[in-house]
């Protein structure tokens, strides 16, 4: 196999306009490649989302690559230097929507597996790919549903590598061994609308909420730990009033979010918010939505193997980090003993002229291959 195989496959995937949740045949292309080397393909579609579970072998340990074929919308086409779904090499980079997030990673998954199997067709353990078309969208019918299916039949993962873009400056300089949880609240503070000249006949919800807001913003929710920063509480939107200057509003709407560490739980944060609101006598309705629990893989075999592979291929020292937003790792960790995220640079993801360095593509495939060798040894 030549080092252009990963680039060629990345281009084939980028050329398919798989805007979430439309897979546009990407998963079928992967299945056709991997079935030739002994993988079985299982389609697990839910709603408009296409998912595929590809596996070679039945023994332990099971090493799983996970990712998504869907991409975010392109934005204004006229702002792209080259068409977003026409993969283009320019100035040492590969341009196209999904180049960094995350079709290059998926291409490298496949070519790493192909080389590993060619060199060692009787390898120990099993290799799998879990691919969805709904990571960039609602994520209701994607990885989370596949995880439910696998869990129900006792098909658990020993080591999982999610191909999310994680590099900051150089390929391999950062991997994610966890992510913070995300808990959102939609708070309606109740008052009584009235004329601003007759405040005794009204109840201003902005005023009744003010002291509670101050306490919420000053509260120390936890102090984090060696892997996570302290839990963060942030107001994202606050709105009240009719727009008139002479009307006391009848309601105040407040939207807020916690990005929380493993030192806190969804339940504990909810209870503490309610306690603060009640303490200040706020009359309210509060709706909660948790889009992801925090997860963590302690430094161990998977991180050790990744660091060794990165050091050998890329010549850099890897930082373990839990920064950034959420990923499908939050679902997979429920059935994976150890999980990390490792992929190309995240500098241009979701941007106009998204791209990856051409020289990073064969390197990333080589890192994945060496990880397979280390984990299946």
Residues taking part in catalysis: 70, 135
Nearest to 288 by CA among 367, 136, 186: 186
- How are beta strands 174-176 and 319-321 bridged, if at all? parallel
Tokens 């606050």 belong to which residue?
238
**Dihedral of the alpha carbons of 318, 320, 323, 324, in degrees to the nearest 10:** 50
What's the per-residue H, E or C state across 66-86?
A: EEECCECCCCCHHHCCCCCCC
Nearest to 162 by CA among 180, 181, 142, 176: 176
Give CA–CA dist 301/156, Å, rounded: 17
Neighbour-count burial of 353, counting CB atoms closer than 10 A to its CB (0-12 exposed, 13-18 middle, 19+ buried): middle
Neighbour-count burial of 245, counting CB atoms closer than 10 A to its CB (0-12 exposed, 13-18 middle, 19+ buried): exposed
Longest Cα–Cα distance of the chain, Å, equals: 83
CB 104 within 8 A of CB 361: yes
Q: What angle do CA 14, 118, 147 make, to 5 degrees?
A: 55
Secondary element (H or E) of residue 275:
helix 266-279
């Amino acid at each position: 196999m030549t080092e252009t195989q990963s680039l060629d496959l990345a281009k084939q995937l980028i050329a398919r306009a798989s805007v979430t949740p439309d897979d546009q045949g990407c998963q079928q292309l992967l299945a056709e490649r991997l079935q030739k080397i002994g993988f079985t393909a299982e389609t697990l579609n839910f709603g408009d989302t296409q998912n595929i579970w590809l596996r070679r072998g039945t023994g332990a340990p099971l090493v799983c690559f996970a990712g998504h074929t869907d991409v975010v919308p392109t934005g204004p086409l006229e702002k792209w230097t080259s068409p977003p779904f026409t993969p283009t090499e320019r100035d040492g980079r590969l341009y196209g929507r999904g180049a960094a997030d995350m079709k290059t990673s998926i291409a490298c998954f496949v070519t790493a597996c192909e080389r590993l199997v060619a060199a060692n067709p009787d390898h120990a353990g099993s290799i799998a790919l879990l691919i969805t078309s709904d990571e960039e969208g609602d994520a209701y019918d994607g990885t989370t549903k596949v995880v439910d299916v696998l869990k129900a039949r006792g098909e658990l993962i020993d080591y999982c590598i999610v191909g999310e873009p994680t590099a900051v400056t150089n390929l391999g300089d950062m991997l994610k061994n966890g992510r913070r949880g995300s808990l959102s609240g939609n708070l309606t503070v109740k008052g009584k609308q009235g004329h601003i000249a007759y405040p005794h006949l009204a109840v201003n919800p902005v005023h009744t909420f003010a002291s509670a807001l101050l306490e919420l913003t000053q509260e120390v929710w936890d102090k984090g730990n060696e892997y996570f920063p302290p839990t963060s509480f942030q107001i994202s939107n606050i709105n009240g009033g009719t727009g008139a200057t002479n009307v006391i509003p009848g309601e105040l709407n407040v939207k807020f979010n916690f990005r929380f560490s493993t030192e806190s739980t969804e339940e504990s944060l909810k209870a503490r918010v309610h306690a603060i609101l009640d303490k200040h006598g706020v009359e309210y309705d509060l709706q909660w939505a948790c889009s992801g629990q925090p997860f963590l893989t302690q430094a161990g075999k998977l991180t050790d193997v990744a660091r060794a592979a990165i050091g050998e291929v890329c010549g850099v020292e890897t930082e373990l980090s839990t920064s950034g937003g959420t990923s499908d790792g939050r679902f997979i960790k429920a059935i994976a003993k150890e999980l990390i995220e490792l992929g190309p640079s995240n500098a241009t993801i979701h941007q106009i002229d998204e791209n990856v360095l051409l020289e990073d593509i064969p390197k990333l495939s080589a890192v994945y291959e060496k990880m397979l060798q280390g984990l299946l040894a």
